[in-house]
Amino acid sequence: MELAQVTIDRLFAAARQAQANAWAPYSRFRVGAAVLAEDGRVFVGCNLENASFGLTVCAERNALAATVVAGAKPIAVAVVGPQVGLPPCGACRQVLAEFGLDLHVLLTAQEPPGYQVFTVGDLLPSSFAFEQPSLR
């Protein structure tokens, strides 16, 4: 599935707004994410750091949670970080894979000289699945 440029621009704009609200007092590494749902709605998330660092949740997973709470199905996620080309962390890749390896992942930075497009399958070619194909 090809995403229209107007859709990509809409997603990055939403992700930038979310990024502005990132709670990142420890790393100052502010990230925003916007998920496009199958029905056209957009759900956003920002990173949420915690003094107990292991409790920190990334923008991508927060946006996915908002999508799921609304009963929507994610088909793409746009991520805005401090630098271009910073792909989602391993935990987020695995959580994104839950919604299909063909889910689009769009990456850019706060000041956009451009963006990158991947699928979750590109980023996580051997994801864990609850039911794996049987070995032969």
Catalytic center residues:
60
The number of residues that bind Zn ion (CB under 5 A) is: 3
**Choice from 8, 14, 33, 92 touching Zn ion (CB under 5 A):** 92
Q: Which parts of 46-65 interact with Zn ion (CB under 5 A)?
A: 58
Q: Quickly count: other Cβ atoms within 10 Å of residue 16's Cβ.
A: 18
Alpha-carbon 28 to chain mean position:
18
Residue (16 or 93) nearer to Zn ion, CB:
93
Asked if residues 77 and 92 have their Cβ atoms less than 8 Å apart, the reply is: no
Smallest gap from Cβ 91 to Zn ion, in A, equals: 5
Smallest gap from Cβ 60 to Zn ion, in A, equals: 5
**Choice from 26, 89, 102, 129 touching Zn ion (CB under 5 A):** 89
Q: Which residue is nearest to Zn ion (CB)?
A: 58
Query: In the chain, count of helices (H) and strands (E)?
Result: 4, 5
- Pick the stretch among 5-13, 65-73, 83-91, 103-111 that binds Zn ion (CB under 5 A): 83-91
- Angle value at C-alpha 64, between 126 and 92, nearest 5 degrees: 35
Which residues fall within 8 angstroms of residue 38, CB to CB, at 6 or more apart? 72, 73, 74, 75
Q: Which residues contact Zn ion by CB under 5 A?
A: 58, 89, 92
